Amino acid sequence: MTSFPPLQRKRYFLHFFLLILHFLTLAADPISLFALNVNDSDFDSKFALLGDAQIVKTEGSFINLTAGLVSGNGCIVYKNPIKFLEGKSHKPVSFSTDFTFSMSRGRGDGLAFVIVPTGELSQVFDGEGSFGISKNFKRIDGKFIAIEYDTHKDENLGDVNDNHIGIDVGSFISAEIIDVSSIDLVLNGGETLHSWIDYEANSRRLEIRLSKFGHKRPHDPLISYPIDLSKFWGEREVFVGISSGVNSTQLSSIYSWSFRVRTTANWLHSQPVDPQIHVGKDQVVWRKKNYALAILGRLIFATGCGTLIAFFMLLFWAIFFTSHSAATAEFPMKTVNIRYEKIDVRVDKISDDSAT
């Protein structure tokens, strides 16, 4: 059996470990991904600019959603529709998006990240309602999600102030709302801000984070809301976009925007603390029927993990604890010849005369 030097075996161990990590990563491989680049030659084929939205060509080009007019609205929409159920498997998918933006001082609705069913965009974003979205919900079946960065207090909609984030589900009366002043930020202070929006299909939660541009992504969400988007839209396709509407000279700008939809293995994320919260009866029955299959799947997965761990332990032992013996075999002792000479010793007999 051929033996490899310890250093080479350690490299093989590292390569094998990285290969395992790569296979695990494939379980959460994105199925849809884009990053906004206004200088891209394919920009027009990927994005639609509606209303007053326009590209500002300067050093570090960006998009103004509004034109700073007394009244106006604008929107950028990603043209490729997405689904929250994947293919024939009907497996729920998750999404993550983040964008940087700024809003100047002035009275206006602010801006919103929106998810709306596919249809005629000019009817969905007609500028008649809040954030430029149509007031006629029948045109879009009332099925829309909006994460509003609101700079106008509308008591009829239950707004807490003119500096808040709200999660709107089919209505501009927010299902969840948070005062941004609680983290010492001002939405329309002219400062560039960075927001992250994440939806996890397994936990069925929508989370929003916000910080100043250049700061790290906050560990804890500023606001979250339990919702199952796969049930909300089913197999319908939806558009994602960022929209703004104002009734003064407020200027809303978008500097960057990225979006990713991904499938995730069930074992990579924990389930909700109470999985029956915000879940319909049909889902509860489905879980009971598939409980045995779920246990069997977990047992198979646990067995596979145990086998993999045992393999790594044996490989680790072979590399690090047998290296000394292997080194001894690879560097045998050499024979050294020692020269020696025979020495004669002679003792003369002392004469009697000298003794006297």
Give the chain's domains with CATH numbers: 1-27+275-332 (no CATH), 28-264 (2.60.120.200)
Residue 313's pLDDT is: 72
Instruction: Say if residues 148 and 112 touch (Cβ distance below 8 Å).
Output: yes
Low-confidence ranges of the chain (pLDDT < 50): 1, 21-30, 266-294, 324-329, 331, 354-356
Q: What are phi and psi of 2, to 5 degrees?
A: -75, 130
Instruction: Say if residues 229 and 86 touch (Cβ distance below 8 Å).
Output: no
Residue 67's pLDDT is: 78
DSSP state of 290: T
- For residue 195, the cross-strand partners are 99, 210
Residue 122's pLDDT is: 67
- Report the C-alpha gap between 262 and 277 in whole angstroms: 24
DSSP state of 328: H
pLDDT digits (tens, 9 = 90+) for 202-221: 999 999 999 999 999 999 99
- Report the C-alpha gap between 335 and 318 in whole angstroms: 30
Helix residue ranges per DSSP H, the chain? 6-26, 43-46, 121-124, 229-233, 281-289, 291-320, 323-330, 352-355
- Report the C-alpha gap between 243 and 52 in whole angstroms: 10
Instruction: Say if residues 175 and 223 touch (Cβ distance below 8 Å).
Output: no
Residue 214's pLDDT is: 93
pLDDT digits (tens, 9 = 90+) for 61-74: 899 998 777 777 88
Query: Would you list the DSSP string of 116-151?
Result: EESS-HHHHS-SSSGGG--S-GGGGTT--EEEEEE-
User: Largest Cα–Cα distance in the chain?
Assistant: 147
Residue 74's pLDDT is: 87
Residue 282's pLDDT is: 37
Residue 281's pLDDT is: 37
- Cα separations in angstroms, 153 against 8, 29, 39, 40, 128: 66, 41, 36, 38, 18
